[in-house]
Structures are given as structure tokens and as C-alpha cells.
Chains A and B, each alone.
Chain A
Amino acid sequence: MLKINDLHISVGDKEIVKGLSLEIKPGETHAIMGLNGAGKSTLAATIAGRDDYDVTSGSIEFEGKDLLELEPHERVGEGLFLGFQYPVEIPGVSNLNFLRTALNSIRKYRGLDEMSAAEFMKLVREKAKALNMDPEMLKRFVNVGFSGGEKKRNEMVQMAVLDPKLAILDETDSGLDIDALKTVAEGINAQRRDDTAILLITHYQRLLSYVQPDVVHVMIDGRIVKSGGKELALELEEKGYADVA
């Protein structure tokens, strides 16, 4: 589904990702673990198409398409989703209007008709309920006045409604108490299917107790230095990054 080959990313003159390769197949859940500054978030944002980052060499293929040739919204149309570490507040735009515009934009990209308002409301209510989100929050402005946990939960509701093929979740576990963490983990697990894939980006092993990955990668200084099964996460937690790498 996703094939990254020898990817180099710079911000200004500084190289952040220094030759990273990764392949994710349908049905798989991968986790990239690493310390702050390892380049994890840069990688996630680049896959999603943020233009502050320069890909100096290498390639990203998604379902056989050159992702780097596509605009951010086109990547979403192809089936990509980025869960933000810091979801953005947008005063004046309601959650419902935002989600409905997003969903219909994706449907339009795929040549599908718009979803009716009634059908959409049913879908959103159902997904919000599954993630324990107060339906009243759907009417509020996007992330405005939301707590850290509420913002992450909102990201999960968006993911559930937009139903991506590949979800990249950047530090979705940070700043969550244990109850919120469990809810978010349930949301992620609900998205795991034979035809979807998940890429978790995280500091800690904590989330991985609830969402068990098939493959764990250790990222240090812009490279994946080690890959293994889910036990690698526990090993990292015990021994620290220096010893494992």
C-alpha cells in the first residue's frame, strides 16, 4: 500500500530525514518509535503533503501512485489520513460543516455523488457515539475550546467518518489520560481491517499495549535503525533507545 524508498527530507539547509525506506501492506499496523527530533513528525507531515518540507531525493508510492506528485487534498482523495499531534483550532467553522465538506470533497474526488445531509448526520452520530464524543461537540467550532483529549478524540471521529485506506497517526496518544487512551485505541482498532493499514508514530510503548502493531521500527536521527515485532517496543521501554539501537 505504502512504499517509501531512500527518502531524504530537508527543512531549509538542514536534512531531517536521511535515507528512510519503509513498506506497509494492506492489513498491517506499523509503529515508528523514536525520541523527539528523530524526524518522525517530519516524515508524517511530508507523506501528508505539508509544503514546509523539501524532499531532496527518494520516493513515496501509495497504491502504485507517486504521492509526491499529488496535492495534499488529492492524497486524501486517494485514501490517506493524517492524525495531527496538535490538531488546529478553526474559529467560525463548525465541526459538522468541516466534516461534511471534507467527506463530500473526497467523494467528489472519487467520482461519487454527495452524501445527503440525513445520511451524513446518521454516520457522524454513530461514529461520535462509538468514540464517546458528546454530539453537542459536533456543532462547535473545530477544536476551539477542546481539551487535549477532546481534540484527539475529534481526530478519531474524523478518521472514522472519512474511512481512509492508510491512517498515519502522529503522537495521537500524547496528552491523554488512561480512559481517553483506551477510547482512542478502540477507535484505531476499529479502523484495522484487511484492506486498511495504520502507521502509528509515538514516543512511548503505552499506546502499543492497546493497539498491537505487526511491525515496530526504531527511528534515530532521520533513519530507521531497527525493525522487529511488537516485542521490540517493550525492549525499547526497558533498555532505552541508545541500547536497542
Chain B
Amino acid sequence: MQDDLTTGYSAQSAALKGTVPGADALRAKAMTDFGAQGFPHAKAEDWRYSDLKALRAGVYAPVDAPKVAPEVPAAMGESAARFVFVNGRYAEDLSDLGDLWQAASIRPIANHFSSSSARTDELVRGKDGIALLNTALLRDGMVISVPAGVEIDDPVEIVHIMTEAAGQAAHLRHVIELGEGAKLTVLERFIGDDSAYWQNIILQARVAEGASFSHFRLQEEGLGAVHTAKVYVNVDASGQYHVMNMTMGAKMARFEAHVRMLGEEADATVDGVALTGTGQVHDTLTHVDHVVPFATSDQIFRTVADARGKTAFAGKVTVAKDAQKTAADQSFKALVFDRTAEANAKPELEIFADDVKCSHGATIGELDAKAIFYLTSRGIDPVTARRMLVEAFTAGALERVTVDSIRDAMMERIGTWMSSRADRTVAEVQEA
């Protein structure tokens, strides 16, 4: 099978030759490495809970443009610019550059490699088969560079739409560069129809000294999709990185955040909320790497799994020998709606410095029946009561989303998701 995959993807990679100036050598190297190692093994510790069967079963074709132009969802509040990608390609006619081009440099990734190829792939560390294919088949993506001292107030929205893409894969790469003291907020949205496509995306960012990058993700892929996403961020002194990943869609979704704290007083907030329905798998891996002293990181992850849904969280924090006075917190809590739902947690701390404050906690439980009765005993119906408790459960992560329109939209989705569960839950209760 691996031979078939290698042959198929090699042909795709070769066909892309010349489309991205300066990237051919990088692609060829990645393709060779993919041929040697293939996709991660199902039994590999970091991949125990992700289901890569669909990826191993056969070669995903390159994406085609859809026959019918997709509907683009309305923006979430004010945005500085809006970039729309349809089936893995930038859709200029659906995008809106706003005023962003006046303050920052925006270019397609195809123009990026020739100028700075040496720097382009270096953030992507620990390359597995999925990352390698992303490089080997790389074609499109957005590069946004915000110059030193420039603060972009409104969020930049990047919308990824997949439609009529059964058996096809999009491999996208976005690059965000923030100069010293710059400020940028990016909202990435993912939506798609029910075709069995694969969205494979990497976002890499450099946050220079004193810069601030807020990164919100709302993953609402179609329920037949595989979504694999990796985020690589380097944070310099006094820089701030905040990511909040809300994951709801896809049959199988994997989100990885790899954050390196490279300067003193760098600060990272790495949060996530997963709403996992019947038959879905939502897997998260984070790695916050404290390389220097006096940096802080904080992680809050909350997952909610309905019947036969599966969530997993592996959170790794490494503190180098010299990274004294590091403060690193991590909290993972999972809710399961019944005994057929599954939640897995693996906190992992590797600390080589002796003067640090690091904590982690993981709990898995069901909705508190006493709390539900207390709420209903005040006149609140059970569906609303359960929704209020799930909202409260996820609040720790959502409250840290500083953009009101985005936070409200995320909260609203929790309400909708809970309501869509209500009928089924009631039916199941009656059955029982």
C-alpha cells in the first residue's frame, strides 16, 4: 500500500514542478522522505487516537474547482481583510483585501519561496508523513507580514471552503510574520459539504519581540472530512501568542500546536474546545517548548463528547535546563454524555530546570445530575439547563477570546450544537 501511496503522491508532486518558484527542491526532498516513512503508524504513541485509515486506504486526488460556486458565509463582525480559499485555491473574486494591504504585506505563498526559501520550512519541525505531504504537494496559501510597530485592530478572516471534493485533498500553507511590536488577529474558518475530502493545512508564524498574535480557529468541516492541521509558532522576548481552536466538524480531526518560547517573558495561551458528535474523532496535540527563562504559558482545553464520540488530548510541555522561572499551566477537562463516549488525556511534562512553576490537571466526567435538577427546579427546561452547564464548562477557554464577535459566535455554536442534541437525547432516554 505504501508503494501505491508513494507512487501516486510522487506523480502529483512532480506535476506541480515549476508552479511555486524555489520550492521544487523542497518538495522533492519531502516526497523522498514521505516515501521512506509514510503516514504515522496507528500504534505510534502520538497517533493512538487519530484514525488515519482513510489516509492509508488510497491516494487522494488533487482538488478540482467546484462546478457550482460555493456560498461564502458572512464575516464574523468587522474584519481588516477576508481571504477565501475554495477547494485549496485562493479565490480572489470572493476575497476582500480591505485596507490591510496598506499596512501589511500580503502575498500568495507561491511568491514566498524564491525570496526566502531557506526560512520557509524551518519552523515545521518533527516532520511526519502528513507534514511531509503538505510540503511535497504545497501550492497555495497566504503570507501576511506585519511590519514592526504596526497594529492591525480588526481580525483578518481566512475562510476555507471544501465542496464537491470527494476523494480529493487540499494542502495549504499559511505564513504569518509579525515584526517587533506588531499586532495581528487571524480567524481561520473551515467549512465544507459532506463529501469525503481531506483538508491538510499548516500555519507557521513568527512573533517578534513585543509582538502579539491572536489566532482563532473555527473548524466546521463537513462530517465526511478528514481535517489535519498543524500550527508552528516561534515567540520572541515579550511576544504573545494566543490560539483558541474550536473544533466541531469532520469525521476525523487532528489539531497540533507547536509553540516555541524563544525569548524572555514570551507568553503563550494555547486553548481549545471540542464539540464531538456521534462517530466523530477529535484529537489534539500541543507542545509548548520553553527554551529560555522567564517565559509563561497557559493551556485550557475542554472537550464535550456525545454518544460514541471520541476526544483525545496530549499536552506536552518541555522546559530546557536553562529555562529557569518558567511558569507553565495546563488544564484539560472532558465531558462525556454517556458511557459510549470516550475521552483520553495525556499530559506530559519534561522539566530540566529546577526553579519553575508548572502545573497540569486532567479530569473526565459527566454532566452533574444534581446541577441539572437544581436548574430545572428553578423553572429552566432540561435542554436549556444542559446547555448552560456546557457553556459554563467551556467558558474558561472561550472567555479568553478577546474579540467579542468571535467569542459570541463561538458561544452561539455551543447553544446550537447542544440544541441539535436535545431531540436525540430525549429519544434515547425514552428508549432506555
Name A residues whose Cβ lies closer than 8 Å to a Cβ of B. Answer: 48-50, 71-73, 76-77, 82, 84, 87-88, 90-93, 97-99, 101-103, 105-106, 109, 141-142, 158, 162
Contacts and interface: CB of A to CB of B under 8 A. Distances in A.
Contact of B389 (A84, A87, A93, A105): A93
Nearest to B383: A73
Interface in B356-395: 368, 370-371, 373-382, 384-385, 388-389, 391-393, 395
Contacts of B385: 73
B384 A87 contact: no
B369 to A, nearest CB: 9
Contact of A93 (B377, B392, B396): B392
Contact of A92 (B375, B379, B380, B393): B393
A77 B380 CA distance: 9
Contacts of A105: 378-381, 384
Chain B interface, >50% SS class: helix
A71 B375 contact: no
A106 B370 CA distance: 20
Given A49-B376, A73-B380, A101-B388, 5 more contacts: A72-B376, A90-B392, A101-B384, A102-B379, A102-B380
A88 B385 CA distance: 14
Contacts of B388: 93, 97-98, 101
B422 to A, nearest CB: 14
Nearest to B393: A92
Per CB-CB distance, the 9 closest pairs between chain A and chain B, nearest first, are: A92-B392, A76-B379, A102-B378, A88-B374, A106-B379, A72-B376, A105-B379, A73-B376, A93-B392
Nearest to A78: B379
A76 B395 contact: no
Contacts of A77: 379
Contacts of A92: 389, 391-393, 395-396
Contacts of B374: 84, 87-88, 90, 142
> Which of A73, A77, A91, A109 has most B Cβ within 10 Å?
A73
B377 A91 contact: no
A79 B26 CA distance: 72
A77 B391 CA distance: 24
A82 B393 CA distance: 25
B377 A48 contact: yes
A77 B377 CA distance: 10
B96 to A, nearest CB: 35
B380 A90 contact: no
A49 B376 CA distance: 9
Contacts of A90: 371, 374-375, 389, 392
B379 to A, nearest CB: 4
Contacts of A71: 376, 381-382
Contacts of A162: 378-379
B376 A88 contact: no
A72 B373 contact: yes
Contact of A73 (B368, B370, B382, B396): B382
> Which of B375, B385, B391, B393 has most A Cβ within 10 Å?
B375
Contacts of B396: 92
A50 B381 CA distance: 14
A41 to B, nearest CB: 13
Contacts of B375: 90, 98, 102
A141 B384 CA distance: 17
A91 B388 CA distance: 11
Contacts of A72: 373, 376-377
A73 B395 CA distance: 25
A101 B382 CA distance: 12
26 contacts: A48-B377, A71-B376, A71-B381, A71-B382, A72-B376, A73-B380, A73-B381, A73-B382, A76-B376, A76-B378, A88-B368, A88-B370, A88-B374, A91-B392, A92-B391, A92-B396, A93-B392, A98-B375, A98-B378, A102-B378, A105-B378, A105-B381, A105-B384, A109-B379, A141-B392, A162-B378
Contacts of B376: 49, 71-73, 76
A90 B384 CA distance: 14
Contacts of A158: 378
A109 B374 CA distance: 18
B366 to A, nearest CB: 15
A76 B381 CA distance: 10
A245 to B, nearest CB: 31
Contacts of A48: 377
A103 B370 CA distance: 20
> Which of B368, B374, B378 has most A Cβ within 10 Å?
B378
A233 B376 CA distance: 33
Nearest to B374: A88
B427 to A, nearest CB: 16
